A = this chain, B = another copy of it.
Amino acid sequence: MPPISRDYNTHCRCLQVESRIIPPDNLRSIKLIPEGPHCTETEVIAGLASGEKVCLNPRSSWVKKLIHFVLEKQLNQQGALPKNQA
């Protein structure tokens, strides 16, 4: 049996997934936990501004759009930067 360390996930964390769409402004963080020996499901856990944690469905299109939005939002705001600002 491998030693149980703080970070070694031993089981799935999400019992159910949130179906309501979460507005990006309510979002503090999104954590992706790839499926693995500990859990056969990829899990997506959102941390809300309220401090609440909710599980999202990795297969639903709005979750992917939300993740894409978070990553791309950064770039759009700095569109005006000179190109060499890689």
Complex copy number for this chain:
2
Residues in B with CB closer than 8 Å to A32 are: 29-32, 67, 70-71
14 contacts between A and B (CB under 8 A): A7-B28, A7-B51, A8-B28, A9-B28, A24-B34, A29-B31, A30-B32, A31-B32, A32-B67, A32-B71, A42-B70, A44-B71, A59-B74, A67-B67
One digit per residue, 1 when the CB lies within 8 angstroms of any chain B CB and 0 when it does not, for chain A 50-82 equals: 010000001100001001001101110000000
- Residues of A bordering B, CB below 8 Å: 5-9, 24, 27-36, 41-42, 44, 47, 51, 58-59, 64, 67, 70-71, 73-75, 86
Closest to A30 in B: B32
